[in-house]
Chain A
Amino acid sequence: MNETRRTFLGGLAGAGALALAGDATRALAQDKPEAAPPGTIPNDAIKKEKAAAMQYHSERPLTGSVPAHEHDFDVTPSDRMFVRNNLLTPDVNAVQHRLTVKGLVDKELVFTMEQLRTAFPVVTLQGMLECAGSGRTSFNPRPSGTPWSPTGGMGCPKWTGVRLADVLRAAGLKPGAAHVAGQGVDPGMIATAPAVIRSVPLTKALEENTLIAWGMNDAPLPKVHGYPLRLVVPGWVGSASTKWLATLTVIDAPFKGTYMTGSYVQPKWPVEPGQKMPAETVSTEAWPVKSMITSPAPNARFKGTDRIVVRGRAWVGEGSIDQVQVSVDEGRSWQRATLGPAGDRFAWRTFTFDYQPQRFGYHTFLARAWDDRGNGQPVESAWNPLGYFWNGVHRVGVQVVA
């Protein structure tokens, strides 16, 4: 974590817009094929900036991710970060962009990008974002929604911005403040589409790793990832991390819109697989403990004398990773993997496991992480109608040949 402290007054007085001229030029240079509605970025232009390993699930809205074996990085490169839009990708002018903080605050605040950059300590930290539906295809029967693979729809890049807590304290919270709702400027396909608004409780909003970010991996946010500004609520379902952030509203209860009550909810009490959503629901928040094997790739081939290094990543939405275990006998017995250094609180943690094959043929590796509260990954996650929070043990098979 690194910080740069500048004065609030200095930031407001400085003519900060010039510092953004480079970003603006970049925005003007963007390709704009005619197919995309005015004010939006065409998918083709977005895909040009993404890795060839990206697998796309839909165009309207754009969704895509890389498979587990393409995630073998300690810090997720920007071109491998998953894409999950609810609406279209807006083409935002950073110089004209404003962030408004309103609602249950002592004074309403409006920031330019430069004012935000200079008014508060600047923080860089690594943090996990994962779509609530990541792993949906593993549920049986399969629920409706983006068909993410068991390890699709996630990533753990570095983010740069200011703490949401600092901005909220500058505005001053009024008594009764309970939730903070983020709203972006992404437009829908039709005028009747409501804005994507998600709210998080104050405890998470004030947590020091929750950011208003403009940077991703030491560069401006890519357009599809929220340029010029987004929330980063690490460890929680990705939808909490509003992209193209323009408005923060402090409210006295969870926001009541469709993206809070119709989507991103789970049954309050578990239901039999295949049942519809019951009347009583709870909002999805922090991800349970999860891990994936990022190397070797499925069906990789090894010579019989080769040692195999199994490597992967483990994370949890609240708490920390306590240990990761690997099984080479389909879960009959488990051995401890070696954990890499612990980084930022909501960063994933690398693990490795050395294995010497004793025979030829097909071998499988299973990974199972445990958090510091004693929660381990299940063999299979509890079914729910919208297919959220799949965190079943990850399994990869390889070939050992003569």
Chain B
Amino acid sequence: MRDLAAAALAITAMLSAAHAQDPDKLTSGPGSTLTTQKCQICHELGHVTRSRLSRGEWADNLKNMRERGAPLSDAEIDVIVGYLAAYYGREPAPAPAPDTLTARSDDPIAKLLADNGCTACHDVTKKLIGPAFREVAQKYAGDSGAAARLAAKMRAGGDGVWGSVPMPPNAGLSEADAKRLAAWVLGQK
């Protein structure tokens, strides 16, 4: 029994070590979704995962990224610096934890949008990095196949229909949630 528990612990440790070493995935924690979405607009996550910086250095880094064009509000920078200082700081990182900080609403659609980082690039009425949801709805008005295609694209990523920036994939978004979001987006006209 003790051997079994030890083995289970060892496997858990191996899994979490493997998770921590995947250079293209951030450790799950409060703020990891927002951080993932914002950072990978311009560069792969390896630039983040290879770094171990103090809070002050991460703050300088985010300020520099905003100067280089990253769409980041002060509030978003606070969340991202807090996350990076904890999980990619000079001190040992805490264990992976559920990402809860970006979900702040009881509205299920608002929660889906926030949890999946959609609002990092999209607004309902304004064009940000990606098109406004309203523009998408208007473009596909009357197109009966649009909902299914849009849902698939939310999960697999896009190829830059709306400009030169491709939409990153969101493999963590379930098929059912993608369909709900697609239906909602197409209703924004």
Contacts and interface: CB of A to CB of B under 8 A. Distances in A.
Contacts of B160: 37
B41 A190 contact: yes
Interface string B35-70: 000000111101100111110110111011001111
A192 B71 contact: yes
A190 B42 contact: yes
Interface of B: 41-44, 46-47, 50-54, 56-57, 59-61, 63-64, 67-71, 90, 129, 159-160, 163-166
A262 B59 CA distance: 12
Contact of A60 (B42, B57, B61): B42
Nearest to A34: B159
B69 A274 contact: no
A59 B64 CA distance: 20
Contact of B129 (A144, A190, A263): A190
B54 A58 contact: no
A189 B41 contact: yes
B69 A193 contact: yes
A58 B44 contact: yes
Contacts of B64: 258, 262-263
A220 interface: no
A59 B44 contact: yes
Which secondary structure dominates chain A's binding surface?
loop
A145 to B, nearest CB: 8
Interface in A254-283: 258, 262-263, 274-277
Given A34-B159, A58-B43, A141-B90, A188 B53 contact: no
Given A192-B71, A258-B64, A144 B51 contact: yes
A194 B163 contact: no
A263 B67 CA distance: 10
Interface string A21-59: 000000000000010011100000000000000000011
A77 interface: no
Contacts of A141: 52, 90
9 contacts: A39-B164, A58-B44, A60-B42, A141-B90, A144-B53, A190-B69, A190-B129, A191-B164, A262-B67
Nearest to A61: B43
Interface pairs A-B: 7 shortest CB-CB: A193-B69, A276-B56, A258-B67, A192-B69, A37-B164, A189-B42, A60-B43
Nearest to A142: B52
A385 B57 contact: yes
Interface in A187-223: 187-194
B90 A194 contact: no
Contacts of A147: 50
